[in-house]
Amino acid sequence: MNQFTALEKRRFWILVVIVSISGFSQGMLLPLISVIFEQDGLSSSLNGLNATGLYIGTLLISPFMEQPLRRFGYKPIILIGGMLVFVSLLLFPLWKSVVFWFILRLFIGIGDHALHFSTQTWITSFSPQERLGRNIALYGLSFGIGFAAGPLFLPLVYIYEGLPFIISGILCMSAWSLIFFVDNDFPGHIHETSTMRGTWARFGATIGFAWVAFIPPFSYGFLESSLHAIFPVYALRNDVNVSMVSIILAAFSTGGILSQLPLGALSDRIGRKKVVLFSLFGGAFSFSLAAMLENNVWTLIGAFLLAGLFVGSTFSLGISYMADLTPKALLPSGNLLCGIFFSIGSLTGPFLGGVFLEYFKDFSFLWLISLFLLTLSLLSLLKPKKQHVQSS
């Protein structure tokens, strides 16, 4: 199948809209809570630890996602996931507590993962091979646009602290309602039984085929969480005001938006691995530049924009790379593992970033990001032992 049917086009764009609003809520939530806690005097370590709630939720639910998806199909999982997200967002203003907000972030992590896992797997299952990179890039682009818009709503906290949460919750609920206009569908069936033992066996097989493709989602998880949860703390301590922090973060996300489609299309033409290496090495260089130019807020914005151009697409590139390396029957497992590695990176980012701020006060936080990306760039030079090429 070389062309989308009208039904598939409508389904694709509805999934894209849902993901964009989810990106908005995530892009706003991380820096918003970090800024609120920093202004309340919470330590950077505790601030970073609280941010991990989102990703702990993702990891907790990950081993249990594949069986319900195969049994009930994509639509019910998206419905439940989206509902968890917008209900949790609307509950934030009810009670300001570190523990309560951590629990809400936990539920948002569970809901977001259900939503993203279902939409990613759905899109990779019905996209023709020659359009896979482009379609996943559009998916990543929609998330990136939402994520870039999120931090721009930070100044609303000065009008009323709960206002950003309420706006985000209403937008998520509006986008979530679109799924009612899509018919349910199911992933391709495989011979293994849908048991936990079968799930772990499929995880092992998928890692054997595509472990190198999970490096980009891991890197993006680390970047997203550390930049949005810890960088605002670092910036505020260096006398950068909240409005400028939101612009700096938006610059990074804007870079990712601008490069999503070009890098996705380029990866279709010259191969996923070359583009992944280009992105990771370029990101390491960009954050080194940012660390050297951070004394001027405008050059810092430029460096963040450049970094976003390189590494803002790594999550969607990783999904496409995984789909190339993985047999079609293992695509649900591959998409699930992309989410798991993203979450592991996301857990690592705030924790390491918080510890770094606590104990390495004389060094720029951006050097940590640069060193991290350089290490992953070198790992990405290795080849998976098993090889698989998807047929078109």
Cα 18 to chain centroid, rounded: 14
What integer is the mean pLDDT of 344-365?
Answer: 83
Residues with Cβ within 8 Å of residue 213, at least 6 apart in sequence: 272, 318, 321, 322, 324, 325, 326, 334, 338
Tens digits of per-residue pLDDT, 246-296?
889 889 988 988 888 888 888 888 888 899 999 999 999 999 999 998 888
Contact of 133 with 320, CB cutoff 8 Å: yes
pLDDT at residue 190, rounded to an integer: 46
Tens digits of per-residue pLDDT, 56-69?
888 888 778 878 88
Cα 176 to chain centroid, rounded: 18
By percentage, how much of the chain surpasses pLDDT 90? 21
Residues with Cβ within 8 Å of residue 304, at least 6 apart in sequence: 248, 249, 251, 252, 255, 290
Tens digits of per-residue pLDDT, 138-187?
887 888 788 778 877 888 888 888 898 998 899 889 988 998 988 888 87
Query: CA 55 → CA 23, 123, 312, distances in Å?
Result: 14, 23, 19
Residue 192 pLDDT > 50, yes or no?
Answer: no
pLDDT at residue 188, rounded to an integer: 64
- Rounded to the nearest integer, the mean pLDDT of the chain is 83
Residue 245 pLDDT > 50, yes or no?
Answer: yes
Tens digits of per-residue pLDDT, 365-374?
899 899 999 9
Tens digits of per-residue pLDDT, 298-328?
999 999 999 999 998 898 889 888 888 888 7
